[in-house]
Amino acid sequence: MTTMQSAVGLKVPKNLGEKIISLAHKLEIVNKTLFIKSQSDHLLIPLIRQPNENELSQLKDIAPQLMLDKNDEVFVEKRPAEETLDHALKRQLPPNLHSSIPHSFDIVGDIAVIEIPSALNNNRYKDVIGQAILRTHKHIKSVHAKAGAINGVYRIRDLTYIAGENRTQTIYNEYNCKYHVDLAKAYFSPRLSQEHHRIATLVNGNEVVADLFAGVGPFAVPIGKLCPKTRVYAVDINPDAVELLKLNVKINHIENQVYPLLGDARELANSKLRGIADRVIMNLPETAIDFIDAACQTLKPAGGLIHFYGFTRKPDTIDNLKTRLTSAIEQQHRKITAFNFIKNVRETAPYEQQIVIDTQIH
Ligand SMILES: C[S@@+](CC[C@H](N)C(=O)[O-])C[C@H]1O[C@@H](n2cnc3c(N)ncnc32)[C@H](O)[C@@H]1O
């Protein structure tokens, strides 16, 4: 953001600008917090005060045509060098704790979510960290600390408020889509943004897509936006997630493409969604394997695609995950005709990876 400030200006011809600037600095009359202005054939130097008679005559010895502009000219303010979080915390925390200073945190809209290392996990240090984040990241308005792992059927993490505005709702922008998010009520991770976009770019034409674990809609919404002829059935068992999803469908103007459904994926696969989908998205990595029956029931009898997300925890391997998926699909009397894409999407914990497997099913 540019901020402006008015000040007395010293108007000098450009060809004498360097000499005048140097003398004005010696006389300590230059306002160093403001930028010098360049106008057609002269410069306007911002001053902290008017020069006295003696100073003015020294300046006029160099540039007789120099003029004092007392009409409070407006200048652009120089921004002070921005402090990093690391610097801010090193100034405030004792040296023996410097090795524990956190170097990163998640940002969702204007909310920061940080993992506090155990050495700093007390109210005093949490406050220091929270305030330092607010000071060094001006767009962040609220800071929370992770207070446990993602857990429960709704896959939500407990958070502890530490600084700024005490709220967990925000608006998040990703690839031209807008999301209302509430980190205390429904799952959301900005770390999957590339994956959300990748899947949306694979969908084409008038496909029917079933997003069985849709959350607030980060897979369903971009598909709706990018593919106007596609219909997406977006299911979630968490009523708060579905309320947010409905809002997100509305603000992204995709009411005719994306249909939010509150309920259990397996029940809906057995009823409303049976045999309708060309493509099924299964982002419930902890237990997606237990819902392969639901995914297969949702697919059209002729088959289609499943985007399956799962975890591997060392010594488990991607090959083991492929074997488990293949066996679960064969138990449903379906066949994998191709593995289109397999990728380690992200590290979710030490020795734990989230893997995506795109499979073609017949
Ligand atoms: C890991 S989150 C993923 C949400 C979303 N796809 C995303 O990427 O942000 C999994 C979601 O599945 C939902 N869920 C869990 N069990 C379910 C079930 N049996 N039927 C439908 N949704 C379920 C949870 O409420 C949660 O919102």
Per the structure block, which two tokens stand in for 202? 């694979």
For ligand 1, say whether the CB of 260 is within 6 Å of any of its atoms: no
The CATH number of the domain where 122 resides is what?
A: 3.30.300.110
Number of the ligand 1 atom closest to the C-alpha atom of 285: 1
pLDDT on residue 73? 79
CA of 1 to the centre of ligand 1 (A): 39
| Domain boundaries, position 36 | 4-76
Identify the CA nearest to 174 among candidates 133, 217, 112, 121: 217
Which band of pLDDT confidence, cut at 50, 70 and 90, is reported for residue 82? low
- CA geometry: angle 8, 11, 16, nearest 5 deg: 135
In this predicted model, what pLDDT tens digit does every residue of 223-234 receive, in sequence order?
999 999 999 999
pLDDT at residue 74 tops 90: no
In this predicted model, what pLDDT tens digit does every residue of 306-342 receive, in sequence order?
999 999 999 999 999 999 999 999 999 999 999 999 9
CA of 88 to the centre of ligand 1 (A): 38
Lowest mean pLDDT among 48-52, 123-127, 155-159, 273-277: 48-52
Domains: count for the chain: 3
Percentages (nearest 5) of helix, strand, coil residues in the chain: 30, 35, 35
> Are residues 305 and 360 in contact, defined by beta-carbon separation less than 8 angstroms?
yes
Q: Say if 137 falls within a structural domain.
A: yes
CA of 236 to the centre of ligand 1 (A): 6
- d(CA 303, CA 244) in angstroms, rounded, equals 31
The protein residue with its alpha carbon nearest to ligand 1, atom 15, reads 153
pTM confidence score: 0.79
- d(CA 349, CA 362) in angstroms, rounded, equals 34
Whether 199 and 65 map to the same domain: the answer is no
> Are residues 145 and 160 in contact, defined by beta-carbon separation less than 8 angstroms?
yes
CA of 333 to the centre of ligand 1 (A): 25
Whether 243 and 113 map to the same domain: the answer is no
Q: Say if 157 falls within a structural domain.
A: yes
pLDDT on residue 205? 85
